[in-house]
Amino acid sequence: MVIETKNRGQTHKLGKKIGGALKDGEIVAFYGPLGAGKTTLIQGIAEGFGVKDYVTSPTFTLINEYQGKAFPLYHIDLYRLEDINEIDDLGIDEYFLKDGVCLIEWAEKMEESLPKDVIKIKIKYISEDERHIWLSSELQARLK
């Protein structure tokens, strides 16, 4: 099933719900073109997670760390990743093993290296304000 959002606020609100449903140790991969709303959704997730800081995409570092209510949140944005070998240099695998949740934008850039049990979220750009958001079935079931 696809969830339709008609503006930025609805995507943020959906993120908040998702943030409340994620469990420690989980890894979420986000797919969708530039401007789809991945960061917007992640900002909502962070709020649902109890992160007080304002979440922006990590541009130079590729990884930002936030403290949630119960466990940390790692926001990984691979937009600027040029070479798959950088994945090793960044030590992303180590983040997967840490306590906390990892959220990965442009996850397709490390598709082969994603853990098997990764949760997937795909965002499709429909029109300026409209998006279709697809959640992997396990996550979707939790939101009900």
- Of 57, 64, 51, 53, which Cα lies nearest the Cα of 16? 51
Asked if 38 touches ligand ADP (CB under 6 A), the answer is: yes
Using the rule CB under 5 A, is 140 a contact of Mg ion? no
CA Rg value for the chain: 14
In this chain, which stretch among 18-26, 28-36, 62-70, 90-98 interacts with ligand ADP, using CB under 6 A? 28-36
- The one-letter amino acid code at 118 reads V
**Is position 98 an interface residue for ligand ADP (rule: CB under 6 A)?**
no
Which of residues 18, 27, 28, 32 is near ligand ADP by CB under 6 A? 32
Angle between helices 38-48 and 8-21 (to 10 degrees): 50
Residue 110, token pair as written in the block: 């490390």
- Residue with smaller CB distance to ligand ADP, 101 or 133: 133
Q: Which of residues 10-39 bind Mg ion (CB under 5 A)?
A: 38-39
Candidate residues 3, 20, 21, 57; the one interacting with Mg ion per rule CB under 5 A: 57
Distant-in-sequence, close-in-space partners of 90: CB < 8 Å, separation ≥ 6: 62, 63
Q: How far is the CB of 13 from ligand ADP (least distance, A)?
A: 10
Q: What is the DSSP letter of 77?
A: E
Which residues of the shown chain bind ligand ADP in the complex (CB under 6 A)?
Answer: 5, 7-8, 10-11, 32, 34-40, 105, 129-131
